[in-house]
A and B are shown apart, each in its own frame.
Chain A
Amino acid sequence: MGSEAIIFYTLSAIMIVFSLLAVTSLRLLRAAVYLLFALGATAAVYFMVSYYFLAAVQLIVYAGGIVVLIIFSILLTSHINEKLQKPDPLKMILTGLTAIIGAGVVWLSFSEYTFIAEPSTGIIADMTTIGEKMLGYGEHGYVLPFEVISILLLAAMIGAIAVAKRTKTNQDD
């Protein structure tokens, strides 16, 4: 087993263990931190396969953005002594069964599909290509979905502001 394989299996183990911990931990903030570890390990796998852009996106969006947001909201709402209640056994058993069935389905479909290993696919994923494709309107250009998503995000942002904004009447009270 080469060093790459060792690193890969270590990262995979980290991902699996911390994903499990993230959903089983009874302390809210710890669960968020375990999620951060799982996401970080995913980014490390992307770095391993030299897909740097996706790795950095994974870190900046998930680790630096979403997890920070989750941690922030936990900081605002929960106290350090708070612990989540243990769910009742029936729920735990059912959830466990669902998880096992889901994993089984994934495993089955993976084992039935034959992966053809191609040493070099010739796909260049450097920054310039990504940028040009993202804003390209020719073949393989993604400018339309890109713009549609940005409009969706804008709408979501305006909606969030509208929800969070205090009305004048509330201030007068």
Chain B
Amino acid sequence: MAIAGVAFMILFAILGIVLVYAERKISAFFQLRLGPMRVGKWGTAQTIADVIKLLLKEPHINKDADKFLFNLAPFVIMISAFLAMAALPFAKGLQALDFDIGIFYISAMSSIGVVGILLAGWSSNNKYSLIGAMRAGAQIISYELSVGLSLLTIVVLTGSLQLSTIVESQADGWWIFRGHIPAAIAFLIFLIASTAETNRGPFDMAEAESELTAGFHTEYSGMKFAFFFLAEFANMFIVAAIGATVFLGGWMPFHIPAFAGFNEVMDFIPPIVWFFGKTSFLIFMMMWFRWTFPRLRIDQLLTLEWKYLLPISLVNILFMAFLSLMGWHF
């Protein structure tokens, strides 16, 4: 148990470092720049230098801030990210917690993270932080619904919420192919809604730097700021991993039922490579969104969720249930 905990902590730290580097490089390439190049070969040691800088910085607290809640907020976010990550299936048997409520557990855990954001914004005693926190809260609570419903669309096919069972059920093909039309719609909705749930661009009005400085973490510095940063990237990894697990087969290799030889070749690639490959693909998609689309306005954002995504996903889940009853999926 202790070893698993340490392993997750190390994974957390490595994820932070690697994903920040990836984000900076990818954003640079999208803007025809080179990105960080000075520290290490191709700037690979840049994020390590950043981590050391953040560790050495002074933790600053506002005079009129609510100190207890101010210090508590980053930990609430980190704890929720940790708890959610514990249930991810990395490979066959390589899963810390395998509940029969898998997906439900992960969405329950990630729903606690929003408390941390709200607390951070309020306890900073800063207008920008407060507005940022309110926006982030409204956004996360709304988009949680679409994320949940799009995942449930696939649960209709799997008949189980347990993540290991969901992966096993995709041995003959991933659900995005086997569930065809409704699965593809659900996948699109999942991509949009989960990008919004993690407060990333084009849905990042919560920290819209042009109007709110940095949103809910404006007043944070040093390691506490790094916690928010780390949690954001960890959450991105978690939603990408869930998407990969539910829609793209998780650690299950790419199988086509009719071609036994092809399937055997695919089995030679280890499951952990499949898992991290699919997850990084989804993370790349989310970064692609961020550096391509312009930021939405807050009312447009809430309209998109409540008037478009939510009704579409509700109808889609009915469509999927009909399809599954008629046996029209593969």
Contact = CB atoms under 8 A, between A and B. Distances in A.
A29 B120 CA distance: 12
Contacts of A57: 108
B112 A64 contact: yes
Given A29-B69, A52-B105, A56-B104, A67 B115 contact: yes
Interface residues of A, number: 27
Interface of B: 64-66, 68-69, 72, 99-101, 104-105, 107-109, 111-112, 114-115, 118-119, 121-123, 125, 130, 133-134, 137, 141, 159-162
Contacts, number: 83
Contacts of B122: 29, 71, 74-75, 80
B114 A30 contact: no
A75 B161 contact: no
B108 A56 contact: yes
Contact of B119 (A65, A71, A76, A81): A71
Interface string A78-115: 00110000000000000000000000000000000000
Contacts of B107: 60
Interface in A118-138: 126-128
B66 to A, nearest CB: 6
Contacts of A40: 112
B119 A29 contact: yes
A72 B118 contact: yes
Contact of A30 (B66, B118, B161): B66
A138 B141 CA distance: 36
Given A29-B66, A56-B101, A81-B64, A63 B125 contact: no
A53 interface: yes
A11 interface: no
